[in-house]
Amino acid sequence: MPQTFRAVGYLPTGAAGTPFDLAILLHDERRVRRRMLTLVHGDTVLVDFPEPVTLADRSVLKLDDGRLVEIIAGEEPLYDVRGRDPIHLMRLCWHLGNRHLKTQIEADRVLILRDHVIRDMLRGLGATVTDISEPFHPEDGAYAHSHGEPQHALINR
């Protein structure tokens, strides 16, 4: 019979301990404040934090009974966007940012959620756009982060 647990804390990627189960979540499901998460083996976890947190891939939730649940970033349908050179890729990023699109920026590529209108625009700008499926880690944006502070309210709680 499935059980419901309550998350009482969040530990960053690399935290010690062996999780008893895991939750596979898409990028928008990993941004939580109050939400019920379904675990792989059928149990559920109530997350009810005082402020929103973005759960990183391989991070863990600490439960009220002391056990841990690992967070796994699930695969999503994305576009792999590449430019002719670094300057071209920066220009492509500018166009994506100008449209307020969720974007994962890497050294030689950019990942975005699939949207045929945006794909056509990027190709028109000279980009190489390829359909892929992998975990998505978009930038949080200027207003949705903890400023990198290790004492963030929910870490090591």
Tell me the pLDDT tens digit for each residue of 38-55: 999 999 999 999 999 999
> For residue 67, what is the domain's CATH number?
2.60.260.20
Do 54 and 68 belong to one domain? yes
Total domains, the chain: 2
CA angle, residues 11, 15, 16, in degrees to nearest 5: 130
CA-closest candidate to residue 27, choices 61, 62, 65, 78: 78
CATH of the domain at 119: 3.30.70.790
Residue 157 within any structural domain of the chain? no
Question: Residue 112: beta bridge partners?
Answer: 79, 103
Residue 23's domain comprises 4-73
Helix (H, G, I), strand (E, B) or coil at 111: strand
Query: What is the structure's pLDDT at 141?
Result: 72
Q: What is the pLDDT of residues 73-84, one digit of tens each?
A: 999 999 999 999
Nearby residues of 58 by Cβ (< 8 Å), 6 or more positions away:
13, 14, 70, 71, 72
Shared domain check, 125 and 88: yes
- At 95-114, the pLDDT tens digits run 999 999 999 999 999 999 99
Task: Flag whether 93 is in a domain.
Answer: yes
Mark whether 83 and 127 lie in a shared domain: yes
